[in-house]
A and B are shown apart, each in its own frame.
Chain A
């Protein structure tokens, strides 16, 4: 297992990738991507059982990860490339005509690591329920992970899946919510408050864990605990408290960088705050 120090180095490079991809494309979603970087780096580089070189869409024999909040594609693509799913240099094609790295993840052009298209919100948790059920029926002991957004949780389908997961005792499903408290039109509380998400998921019959989404030790501990509880008949929800735009001072804690690319000067200012640890693409 990699040390926390090493994981932090990867996070720094992933954040550089995110800023550079969005900047080079002139569009994309840096805020949520930067906010969930520590969560996905902890998952992909420490806790997830996966085999990037022998990836299969059906995920047989490995854990599966779904990104439901598809706009976090810069983060997803960087983590996949840095894990070895596809060449790191391909990150430069993000959002370009003909690229496998579509604005939001797709499977049409066959990008290893992407199991389902996402972007239209609220669908990934249902898909994850189906994949987790398939694993259970195939006696595959591995887990299914899915990342949703807190704003995304305003979609009714999320709560349909919440009921389904509990009803069918999908205890090999570990869902994570990126709780950055922001959405396109402003702070979540002023747009459409979700109230107490911990109480809500508990009431729906899920095991919940509230986690500091930037503390890798705590993230790893929570994922391990959730995996240990497989077999208890309840799906798991990790509520990751994050800061949107984390790591780039002028993007932190605001919805303004949800879906906007930095200009040249802003890009330089952002990259000055993020150490190049693994080599830029």
Chain B
């Protein structure tokens, strides 16, 4: 594990999105991009500069941006609409529901600054409900990559996937540890470490925290299976069930509310298919607040030590 998944230098996942978008834009002339006055924040400026005819500035009007994206998509284009996670999910839920999900339009909803790590701007901008909102929509694919390389690969992969996709990434610089130029397989869980005592299912920024936790735990003799659930929907149920069957103890970790998140989703699968004790590392029914990303991860129990605590707890509950 330590050999392959080493931090090659901190990078923000949104830059992975920007790089991936530019690359896929060069490959496919049908790829278009839209943004609502956050082009720099979303790292969409390189695409906008290289393809001005395929980039549409929408101003601070996200509802219209979703509708325009749907119109482009039904006409055969592949629109990537970008904004902060809060403004491109909760604010425009009905537009996504009717014009994208129900209308089966091939729109890529690209959300940066997701979760509490948006940082100092505070709770008005820190959405932690977005995975739940998006995964409730029939037919919506939901992807939450863990680092720069994976976000870039996911951005390239979703252009080739036909159907609406929610792609969630973040603002801060975080460890970049998955392979460069990896091929991203939508819906395929990625096992980062094989183990036998406990399984950690993690998504997004929490994958690195889980990796650090796993290293610590292994030093104390706990054999940890670590699985990166980058695709929350469709969930790789087989990977989840198989690993739970093997380790008989599960921890889920995500930068999201418990409500509607990965942990709840995995519980709904395991309670029916493979009941084992589960602990969830996520935020329980509260809003975020101002602070640095690192401070907030700690304050909201979204760090490696919270994962370690959860593993210890679940191991005690193991039958």
**Stretch of A122-130, A198-206, A247-255 lying at the B interface:** A122-130
Interface pair A130/B61, CB less than 8 Å apart: no
A155 to B240, CA, bound (A): 44
| Contact among A128, A129, A160 for B63, CB-based, below 8 A | A160
Interface pair A161/B64, CB less than 8 Å apart: yes
| Contact among A60, A122, A124, A134 for B72, CB-based, below 8 A | A134
- A107-B103, A130-B75 are contacts. A123–B59 as well, Cβ < 8 Å? no
Interface pair B98/A120, CB less than 8 Å apart: yes
| Contact among B56, B94, B99, B105 for A168, CB-based, below 8 A | B56
For B57, list chain A residues within 8 Å (CB).
Answer: 167
For B63, list chain A residues within 8 Å (CB).
Answer: 122-123, 126, 156-157, 160
Name A155's closest neighbour in chain B (CB-CB).
Answer: B63
Looking at chain B's contact residues, the main secondary structure is helix
Interface pair A116/B53, CB less than 8 Å apart: no
B212 adjacent to chain A (CB < 8 Å)? no
For B79, list chain A residues within 8 Å (CB).
Answer: 130
Interface residues on B, range: 20 to 34
For B74, list chain A residues within 8 Å (CB).
Answer: 57-59, 115-116, 127, 130-131
Interface pair B95/A130, CB less than 8 Å apart: no
Interface pair B99/A134, CB less than 8 Å apart: no
| Contact among A131, A137, A157 for B53, CB-based, below 8 A | A137
Tell me the residues in window 60-109 of chain B with beta carbons closer than 8 Å to chain A beta carbons: 61, 63-77, 79, 94-95, 97-99, 102-105
A240 adjacent to chain B (CB < 8 Å)? no
B313 adjacent to chain A (CB < 8 Å)? no
For A60, list chain B residues within 8 Å (CB).
Answer: 75-76
Interface pair B72/A117, CB less than 8 Å apart: no
A123 to B99, CA, bound (A): 7
A10 adjacent to chain B (CB < 8 Å)? no
Interface pair A130/B71, CB less than 8 Å apart: yes
A174 adjacent to chain B (CB < 8 Å)? no
- A123-B98, A123-B99, A163-B59 are contacts. A108–B104 as well, Cβ < 8 Å? yes
Distance (Å) between the CB of B36 and the closest chain A CB?
10
Name A127's closest neighbour in chain B (CB-CB).
Answer: B71
Interface pair B67/A59, CB less than 8 Å apart: no
| Contact among B54, B64, B75, B102 for A157, CB-based, below 8 A | B64
- A137-B53, A163-B59 are contacts. A129–B102 as well, Cβ < 8 Å? no
Interface pair B59/A164, CB less than 8 Å apart: yes
For B54, list chain A residues within 8 Å (CB).
Answer: 137
Interface pair B99/A116, CB less than 8 Å apart: yes
Interface pair B104/A130, CB less than 8 Å apart: no
Name B34's closest neighbour in chain A (CB-CB).
Answer: A130
Interface pair A117/B99, CB less than 8 Å apart: yes
Name A156's closest neighbour in chain B (CB-CB).
Answer: B63
Distance (Å) between the CB of A134 and the closest chain B CB?
3
Name B98's closest neighbour in chain A (CB-CB).
Answer: A120
Interface pair B53/A130, CB less than 8 Å apart: no
A116 to B103, CA, bound (A): 6
Distance (Å) between the CB of A71 and the closest chain B CB?
13
Tell me the residues in window 55-113 of chain A with beta carbons closer than 8 Å to chain B beta carbons: 57-60, 106-108
For A115, list chain B residues within 8 Å (CB).
Answer: 74
Interface pair A130/B59, CB less than 8 Å apart: no
A133 adjacent to chain B (CB < 8 Å)? yes
A18 adjacent to chain B (CB < 8 Å)? no
A234 adjacent to chain B (CB < 8 Å)? no
A155 to B57, CA, bound (A): 21
Interface pair B64/A126, CB less than 8 Å apart: yes
A40 to B98, CA, bound (A): 23
A118 adjacent to chain B (CB < 8 Å)? yes
A125 to B71, CA, bound (A): 9
Residue from the set A107, A125, A132, A160 with the largest chain B CB neighbour count within 10 Å: A160
Interface pair B67/A131, CB less than 8 Å apart: no
16 CB < 8 A contacts A-B: A59-B74, A116-B99, A120-B98, A123-B95, A126-B64, A126-B67, A129-B64, A129-B71, A130-B73, A131-B74, A133-B56, A157-B63, A157-B64, A160-B61, A167-B59, A168-B56
- Known contacts A106-B102, A157-B61, A167-B57; 11 additional CB pairs below 8 A are A58-B75, A107-B102, A117-B99, A117-B102, A120-B94, A122-B63, A126-B70, A127-B74, A157-B63, A160-B63, A163-B61
Closest 10 CB pairs of A and B: A130-B71, A126-B67, A134-B75, A160-B64, A160-B61, A130-B68, A131-B71, A127-B71, A130-B72, A157-B63
